[in-house]
Amino acid sequence: MWKWLHPYAKPERSYQLAGKLLPWFIVLTIITFSAGLVWGLLFSPADYQQGDSFRIIYIHVPAAMMAMAAYSSMAIAAFVALVWQIRLAEMTVAATAPVGAVFTFIALFTGAAWGKPMWGAWWVWDARLTSELILLFVYLGIIALYNAFSDKLLAGRAASILTLVGVINLPIIHYSVVWWNTLHQGATISKFAKPSMAPEMLWPLLIMILAFAALLGALTLMRFRNEILTRESHRPWVRQLIQHNMNITENY
């Protein structure tokens, strides 16, 4: 497996692989977003208690889940980067962080817009909300730290260390609704139990989770490619690639 995996530690190969995967992620994103939004907004029935306000769930839950998934993948990449000194892993950390930060913000904002009509307050200092806010600050810290160094080797290492430190927040977010008495409801979908949700509401939610996952993948691949080009911009292969692309656009 190492023999097969090894060439992808070369930036050029990774750039090309990311480019090959990208269209599939974009197509999947477009299909799942359109299907999930139409089903969730138009066809799924209103909740018997929350009425139509529950439709916010179709962006709130997927954004929150993928914000945490993005962080988990960043943590794995940061570990790989620090232990095996693989620069491409550092680049994936830098590429994923802004996407995760935006997803976290969306989860917080949609939560506030849902909390106002249901709880009567935009914001409460509850365990789930506070730990999610900390996740946003950790994301912003990682992005700021990575941009603070002009030496990207140092920047990558610093950002990776901060990413690993921030992992402690993930179980806190996940179990916050169990450990503390919170206003936020418990998990609706669980790996172990039957979901406590009607199938006609659950299906669009699952599609929207897939949509956000595909979007996370697509944006991360795009930013990963940007990161490779920036950090390798003095290499001949990057110069050739850019010159070639520029010639194509000039001819049209």
Partner 1 sequence: MAFNSFADFIAMGGYGFYVWLAYGISFLCLIILIFNTLAKRKKIFRVVTQRIAREERINKAKKMEGTL
Q: Could you list the residues that contact partner 1 (CB under 8 A)?
A: 41-46, 51-53, 55-56, 59-60, 63, 98-99, 102, 105-106, 109-110, 113-114, 116-117, 215, 219, 222-223, 225-226, 229-230, 233, 238-239, 242-243, 245-246
Nearer to partner 1, 88 or 106 (CB): 106
Provide the Cα torsion 57, 134, 79, 179; round to 10°.
Answer: -70
Concatenated DSSP letters for 115-162?
A: HHHHHS-S----HHHHHHHHHHHHHHHHHHHHHH-SSHHHHHHHHHHH
From the CB of 89, what's the least distance to partner 1, in Å? 20
Q: Residue 12 to residues 88, 212, 235, 251: CA-CA distances in angstroms?
A: 10, 28, 10, 25
Query: 51 forms bridges with which residues in the sheet?
Result: 47
159 in Cβ contact with 92 (< 8 Å): no
> Across the chain, which distance is largest between two alpha carbons, in Å?
64
> In the block, which residue shows the tokens 């730290």?
145
Nearer to partner 1, 157 or 225 (CB): 225
Q: Residue 141: left (phi > 0), alpha (psi -120 to 50), or beta?
A: alpha
Nearer to partner 1, 87 or 235 (CB): 235
Nearer to partner 1, 7 or 51 (CB): 51
Nearer to partner 1, 159 or 212 (CB): 212
From the CB of 10, what's the least distance to partner 1, in Å? 19
- Of 229, 238, 222, the closest CA to residue 95 belongs to 222
> In the block, which residue shows the tokens 């030496």?
151
Nearer to partner 1, 49 or 181 (CB): 49
223 in Cβ contact with 97 (< 8 Å): no
From the CB of 242, what's the least distance to partner 1, in Å? 5
**Residue 68, both tokens:** 């945490």
From the CB of 129, what's the least distance to partner 1, in Å? 15
From the CB of 55, what's the least distance to partner 1, in Å? 6
The CA-CA-CA angle for residues 72, 78, 79, to 5°, reads 95
Nearer to partner 1, 30 or 167 (CB): 30
From the CB of 134, what's the least distance to partner 1, in Å? 19
Instruction: Please state the φ and ψ torsions of residue 47, each to the nearest 5 degrees.
Output: -70, 145
Question: Which DSSP category does 125 fall into?
Answer: -
From the CB of 218, what's the least distance to partner 1, in Å? 9
